[in-house]
């Protein structure tokens, strides 16, 4: 067996969690990440028949039965992942009945997957229905996104339009816009269900006064979506109290969409 600490998927998760900590988004145990893995990817590093522990779940994930995920641990700090992946990360397989996960590696100190596992797993189910190549869910406490949810309407069209207007690349990066949930209690199945419902339509969902969920086919895509929204939100926070002399008009956004071959979410731009 090869050393799992050298596996590209472990290396990549170490790097991205460290990076997000340094962005200032993942204070203490804030944020969590899950990455769908194939058996072929994992088999060179782990005996797939060797289950270390079985961990019960609070909801039924049978739609993901047999699937493997690399998931950050509950209560663990993104800051610490890079120095001790085996304690702060775990590789789990969803049990056949969907009501538990089987631990194959990690959570060395007796830990468990993130408290937001319902939101992650339910989001994976929603996104896989939309895109069979979907693989990644990242949740983080992106600072300016959170700030924006205090001072901007949470209505999705309005929220998305403001982000699109803040920098030119936004419409190109997320023409499908962002879903927004009002403040809700986190760490339970209710917010998981609400998030997954939005994820049927969006790759990004903002949790008001809490943070953001981003998804994608790989870590670059999920992180890239989040950092682009965060950048736009930062610009919004910087300019919101100044007299606006010019912005990007809807006409210009249409020109941009045509030039880059993207389709803005129906009805979000005025024609």
Q: Where do contacts with ligand 2HA occur on this chain (CB under 6 A)?
A: 29-32, 114-116, 139, 186-187
As measured in angstroms, the least distance from the Cβ of 2 to Zn ion is: 33
Phi, psi for 68 (deg, rounded to 5): -105, 140
Listed residue (234, 78, 101) closest to 167, CA to CA:
234
Beta-strand pair 179-181/204-207: parallel
- Residue 34 binding: pick among ligand 2HA, Zn ion, none (C-beta 5-8 Å cut-off by kind): none
Listed residue (133, 135, 146) closest to 31, CA to CA:
146
Question: Rounded CA gap, 71 and 43, in Å?
Answer: 17
Residue nearest to Zn ion as judged by C-beta position: 211
- Residue 147 binding: pick among Zn ion, ligand 2HA, none (C-beta 5-8 Å cut-off by kind): none
Identify residues 104-123 at the interface with Zn ion (CB under 5 A).
none
Query: Per-residue string for binding with Zn ion, 207-226, x by CB under 5 A?
Result: ----x---------------
- Residue 227 binding: pick among ligand 2HA, Zn ion, none (C-beta 5-8 Å cut-off by kind): none
76 vs 265, beta carbon nearer Zn ion: 76
114 vs 162, beta carbon nearer ligand 2HA: 114
As measured in angstroms, the least distance from the Cβ of 221 to Zn ion is: 20
Marked catalytic residue, from 116, 156, 221, 234: 116
Torsion of CA 221, 139, 118, 130, to 10 degrees: -20
As measured in angstroms, the least distance from the Cβ of 141 to Zn ion is: 6
Question: Rounded CA gap, 122 and 37, in Å?
Answer: 16
Active site residue 201: no
> Which one of 75-83, 154-162, 176-184, 205-213 is the stretch in contact with Zn ion (CB under 5 A)?
205-213
As measured in angstroms, the least distance from the Cβ of 109 to ligand 2HA is: 16
The partner residues of 207 in beta bridges, in order of sequence, read 181, 211
Which DSSP category does 113 fall into?
A: B
187 vs 224, beta carbon nearer ligand 2HA: 187
Contacts of 110 (CB under 8 A, 6+ apart): none
Q: Is 46 in contact with 4 (CB distance < 8 Å)?
A: yes
Question: Rounded CA gap, 266 and 271, in Å?
Answer: 10
Residues making contact with Zn ion (CB under 5 A) = 211
Catalytic site residues?
Answer: 116
């Amino acid at each position: 067996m090869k050393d799992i600490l050298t596996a590209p998927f472990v290396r990549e998760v170490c790097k991205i969690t460290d990076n997000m900590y340094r962005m200032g988004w993942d204070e203490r145990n804030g944020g969590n990440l899950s990455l769908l893995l194939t058996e072929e990817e994992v088999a060179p590093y782990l005996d797939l028949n060797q289950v270390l522990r079985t961990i019960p779940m609070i909801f039924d994930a049978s739609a993901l039965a047999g699937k493997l995920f690399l998931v950050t641990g509950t209560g663990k700090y993104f800051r610490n992942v890079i120095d001790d992946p085996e304690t702060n990360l775990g590789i789990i397989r969803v049990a056949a009945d969907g009501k538990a996960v089987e631990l194959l590696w990690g959570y060395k100190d007796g830990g468990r997957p993130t408290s937001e596992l319902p939101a992650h797993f339910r989001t994976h189910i929603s996104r896989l229905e939309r895109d069979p190549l979907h693989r990644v869910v990242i949740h983080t406490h992106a600072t300016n996104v959170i700030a924006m949810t205090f001072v901007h309407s949470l209505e999705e069209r309005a929220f998305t339009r403001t982000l699109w207007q803040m920098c030119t690349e936004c419409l190109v990066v997320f023409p499908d816009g962002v879903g927004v949930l009002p403040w809700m209690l986190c760490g339970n199945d209710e917010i998981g269900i609400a998030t997954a419902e939005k994820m049927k339509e969006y790759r990004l969902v903002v949790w008001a006064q809490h943070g953001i969920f981003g998804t994608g086919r790989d870590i670059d895509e999920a992180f890239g979506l989040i950092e682009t929204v965060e950048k736009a939100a930062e610009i919004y926070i910087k300019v919101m109290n100044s007299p606006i002399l010019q912005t990007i008009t809807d006409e210009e956004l249409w020109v941009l969409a045509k030039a880059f071959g993207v389709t803005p979410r129906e009805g979000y731009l005025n024609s």
